[in-house]
Chain A
Amino acid sequence: MPVTHKTLVKSKQGSNAQSQQKPLAAKTAKVVSKKKDEDDGTEIGEGGDEWMHGKTLIKPPDQLDLTEAELKEEFTRILTANNPHAPQNIVRYSFKERSYKPISSVDQLAVHFFLEGNLLHRDSDEARRQKAKQGLPDEKATVVTETEDEKLETPLQAAGGEEAGDVEEGGGEDGAHSVDSKTGKKEQKLTNQFNFSERASQTLNNPLRERGCQTEPPPRASFSATANQWEIYDVYLEEMQKQEKNKEKAKAVPKKEDDKGKKKLTLVETQSDDLTKVAKVAKIIERMVNQNTFDDIAQDFRYFEDASDEFREQEGTLLPLWKFQYDQAKRLSVTALCWNQSYKDLFAVGLGSYDFTKQGRGMLVFYSLKNSTYPEYNYPTTSGILCLDIHPDRPYLVAVGFYDGCVAVYNLKEERPEPVYKSSSKSGKHTDPVWQVRWQKDDMDNHQNFFSVSSDGRVVSWTLVKSELVFTDIIKLSLVGAVSEGPEGVPPPTMACGTSFDFHKQINYLFLVGTEEGKIHKCSKAYSSQFLETYDAHNMAVDAVKWNQFHPKVFISCSSDWTVKIWDHTIRTPVFIFDLNAAVGDVAWSPYSSTVFAAVTADGKVHVFDLGINKYEAICQQPVVAKKKTKLTHIEFNPVYPIIIVGDDRGYVTSLKLSPNLRSKPKWGRKKLDIQFSGIHYYPPSFLFLRKTG
């Protein structure tokens, strides 16, 4: 702007005249000329003033010659913002008017300086991108970019001045980083902008090694159990037992020393053979197997009732059930039968021989109805058994009378085959076969005792005292009647031979003895030498005499003289006499009726009588053994079930079921019987009839 040329001025004047307003033009001209003048003036003024005084105006040769008036003419000069270099007469061809037309406005912009800068607006996209990259907050972004250029230059120079080499590069980078860091977060350390260097070094990384160690796992065992109600119960039971044992131990402390020795023994014993523990189970199985085999018999035993009895008015039948036989007892005959009072299916069989010439061994055998093939217990004996009795209260005690005159007591609980007690010649055994034994009630010392009767004429009472049998002669049977003198003055035998006896059910001291001579004596325990009564019963030996279980006055007797007689003990003659056409082996009253009894004969028949139904004849006469030669020797009624067991001389025991007609209960107030049985009818006191107990 300050540099203006004269020529320009002139041109301007000329151009301005057209394009611009006159005053403006005038002004510019004035301005220009004034400027020029001023310039001249100043130039000249400063040094020219002095010069002007000295010199006269030098006129250039091409200066205009102007008149005074022209010289005084005022030219106005205007200072405008117009670009002097801008063209003022741009013309454009207008196709509309088909002529050149000057453009009204001309761009007056004059660019004096242009420099590409690095500034970015903070909100622009690029700036945002950079921010994101650097991760710097927005506010500082502009600062960064501003100073970046300068900073870059200065650190480089500084670095180059300081240290050479590797530091430079690092320094440069670090410089930038430091800038970044500086302007970044507040936590970052403040570093010197100009003189900062950061060193880092890395240690050697140790190679990684993995090391493991494993211990042996603890021994494991899997455990499983169930917790049922019964398992818990079992545990409780065990606990209780332990506690009880502890209590006992506490009480029995002083006795411990003696027991120690025994304890050791017991411990060793428990390691016995395996199979002995199977015994109980084996027994059960055997019974089950037998039940299967004899299933029909078992069913009959339980349920069969002979329907034809309805058609037979008075008669009845006997249904054969099980047959019990033991191999080793084949040649022996059944000499005694006894039902166990507590275990209704258990009965004892005494085996021996009635034959005088064939005396040998004997056997005591127990059978159960549940197993008919093999006995539950069996005890072989040296001498034939002639009688036995099971204790009513203690079902494990069995009293046995032998043919050799001994008596013995067996304890079924014990394992050994010998009797617990046995009488010997020292201890007052009989000198003749013992025909009958009977348990009595315990005496006052709570010792068990039983009676025995033998052919030697003695009725002896035996008491079990600890481990011995103590005997007491109760009565000696003396011969009653005519004493005939034997030949040559030999004194006749004074003792009668007792062959059977029975104790009264209610009156304890009263008992009956049957003798070989055929007499029955009524005796009392109190009187040892005298009989209360004597009955001329039979012509031959009295094989059995039995009190009636209900009627207190009636008893029955049987003999080999083919007769069965019923007596009232107040009358010396029999009330009833039955002839059975064969030697009668045994007779028994029934446990359910006072008028029913059964008898067995040597021809293999069983006769059942019911005096309430038929007084003169048997209501049942039935052969029960196959071979006719076999003699039936004994008969017993089961106390609960409607069966009877019959023993014969071949060693077999047959069980038979009584048909309903044979089991009829006695009726009240039978006039006919009242005549014979003076007194009141006795009815079975507590009678559990059969089917309930099964």
Chain B
Amino acid sequence: MAEVEETLKRIQTHKGVIGTIVVNAEGIPIRTTLDNSTTVQYAGLLHQLTMKARSTVRDIDPQNDLTFLRIRSKKHEIMVAPDKEYMLIVIQNPSE
């Protein structure tokens, strides 16, 4: 338990990380370092996208599964790591 907390803390304080969000299986954010509206927006949109990506990967080969998803945009990079029950979203600015 404490390890996970530590890991999350490390991620948050890592260089260039703007925010982290932990989302549960229904797409509801449990933990976040961003403000509420942004969190809700990110959680909702990315949840759908991750589900879609996962479905795509698994459709091609059901024994395969999505490990993580990176979306690199002009301003920053959004990283999503899905799990059976939870999903972790991290927004980082890699150039910093």
A74 interface contact, C-beta 8 A: no
Q: 13 pairs across A/B with beta carbons < 8 Å?
A: A229-B59, A229-B62, A233-B63, A273-B1, A275-B22, A278-B8, A280-B83, A281-B83, A282-B81, A285-B68, A285-B81, A285-B90, A289-B11
Quick one: given A230-B62, A285-B11, A285-B79, are A279 and B4 in contact (CB under 8 Å)?
A: yes
Whether the Cβ atoms of A293 and B94 lie closer than 8 Å is yes
A179 to B16 CA separation, bound complex (whole angstroms): 110
A646 CA to B88 CA, complexed, in Å: 34
Name the one of B4, B70, B92, B94 contacting A282, with C-beta atoms under 8 angstroms.
B4
What are the residues of chain A within 8 A of B14 when measuring CB–CB?
286, 289-290, 293, 373
Tell me how far the C-beta of A287 lies from the nearest C-beta in chain B, rounded to whole angstroms: 9
* Distance A96 CA – B60 CA, assembled complex (angstroms): 123
Query: Do A282 and B68 touch (CB < 8 A)?
Result: no
Identity of the chain A residue whose Cβ is nearest the Cβ of B5 in the assembled complex: A275
Known: A285-B90, A289-B92, A292-B77. A279 touches B7 (CB 8 A): yes
- Give the complex CA separation of A232 and B77 in angstroms: 34
Q: With A and B bound together, what is the CA distance between A279 and B22 in angstroms?
A: 11
On whether the beta carbons of A230 and B1 are closer than 8 Å, the reply is no
Q: A282–B11 contact, CB under 8 A?
A: yes
Tell whether, in the assembled complex, residue A278 and residue B86 are in contact, meaning their CB atoms are under 8 Å apart. yes
Question: Within residues 284 to 312 of chain A, which ones have a CB less than 8 A from any CB in chain B?
Answer: 284-286, 288-290, 292-293, 295
Contact of B35 with A by CB under 8 A: no
Apart from the given pairs A285-B81, A293-B15, 17 other A-B contacts in the complex at a CB distance below 8 Å: A230-B58, A230-B62, A233-B58, A275-B1, A275-B22, A277-B86, A279-B3, A281-B83, A282-B4, A282-B7, A284-B67, A286-B7, A288-B81, A288-B90, A289-B11, A289-B92, A373-B14
B39-88, CB < 8 A from A: 55, 58-59, 62-63, 67-68, 70, 77, 79, 81-83, 85-88
**In chain A, what residue has the closest Cβ to B6?**
A374
Number of interface residues of B (CB under 8 A): 36
Given contacts A282-B8, A286-B7, A289-B90, is CB(A234)–CB(B83) below 8 Å? no
Contact, CB under 8 Å: B22 / A278: yes
Q: B63 to nearest A CB, angstroms?
A: 7
Contacting residues of chain B (1-29) with chain A, CB-CB under 8 angstroms: 1, 3-5, 7-8, 10-11, 14-17, 20, 22, 24
B-chain residues with CB within 8 Å of residue A293 when the two chains form the complex = 14-16, 92, 94
Q: Which of A226, A275, A276, A374 has its CB near the most chain B CB atoms (within 10 A)? A: A275
Q: Across the two chains, which residue of chain A brings its CB closest to B77?
A: A292
Residue in contact with A228 in the complex, picked from B1, B55, B63, B81, CB distance below 8 Å: B55
Residues of A contacting B4 in the complex (Cβ-Cβ under 8 angstroms): 275-276, 278-279, 282
A125 interface hit (Cβ, 8 Å): no
In the complex, B34 has a CB within 8 A of chain A: no
Q: How many A-B residue pairs have CB under 8 A?
A: 95
Q: Indicate the size class of the contact surface on chain A.
A: 20 to 34
Q: Which 6 A-B pairs have the closest CB atoms?
A: A230-B58, A233-B62, A292-B94, A230-B62, A281-B83, A284-B81
B10 touches A285 (CB 8 A): no
Known: A373-B10, A374-B10. A278 touches B92 (CB 8 A): no
Interface of B is mostly: mixed
- Inter-chain CA distance A448–B82, complex, in Å, is 38
Q: Provide the residues of chain B in CB contact with A229, threshold 8 Å.
A: 58-59, 62
Contact (Cβ within 8 A) A288 B79: yes
Which residues of chain A have C-beta atoms less than 8 A from B1's C-beta?
A: 273, 275-276
Give the distance to chain A from B48, nearest Cβ to Cβ, in Å: 13
Residue of A nearest to B58 (CB): A230
| A443: Cβ under 8 A from any B Cβ | no
For A282, the chain B residues whose CB sits under 8 A away are: 4, 7-8, 11, 81, 88
Chain A nearest CB, measured from B71 CB (Å) = 12
A107 / chain B contacts, CB cutoff of 8 Å? none
Alpha-carbon gap, A228 to B57, bound state (A):
11
Q: Does A525 make an interface contact (CB < 8 A)?
A: no
A274 contacts the other chain (Cβ, under 8 Å)? Answer: yes
CB nearest to A415 among chain B residues = B3
* Interface pair A281/B86, CB less than 8 Å apart: yes
The answer, yes or no, to whether A283 is at the interface (CB within 8 Å) is: yes
For B88, what are the chain A residues with a Cβ–Cβ distance below 8 Å?
A: 278, 281-282, 284-285
Residues of chain B with a CB closer than 8 A to A373's CB: 10, 14
In the complex, the chain A residue whose C-beta lies closest to that of B69 is A288
Known: A277-B83, A282-B88. A288 touches B58 (CB 8 A): no
Which chain A positions have C-beta within 8 A of B55? 226, 228, 230
Across the two chains, which residue of chain A brings its CB closest to B84? A277
- Whole-angstrom distance between the alpha carbons of A320 and B68 in the complex? 28
Q: Known contacts A229-B62, A281-B86, A282-B11; decide if A292 and B16 are in contact (CB<8 Å).
A: yes
Residue numbers in B under 8 Å from A232 (CB-CB): 62
Residues of chain A within 8 A (CB-CB) of B3 are 279
Q: Which residues of A contact B16 (CB under 8 A)?
A: 289, 292-293
Closest chain-A Cβ to B30's Cβ sits at a distance in Å of 7
CA of A652 to CA of B72, assembled, Å = 33
Least CB separation from A283: chain B residue: B7
In whole angstroms, what is the CA distance A292 to B83 when docked? 21
Residues of A within 8 Å of B30, CB to CB, are 274
Chain B residues within 8 Å of A280, by CB: 83
| Complex CA–CA separation, A12 to B63 (angstroms) | 140
Q: How far is the CA of A293 from the CA of B10 in the complex (A)?
A: 13
Interface contact A234-B90, CB-CB below 8 Å = no
List the B side residues contacting A278 at CB < 8 Å: 4, 8, 22, 83, 86, 88
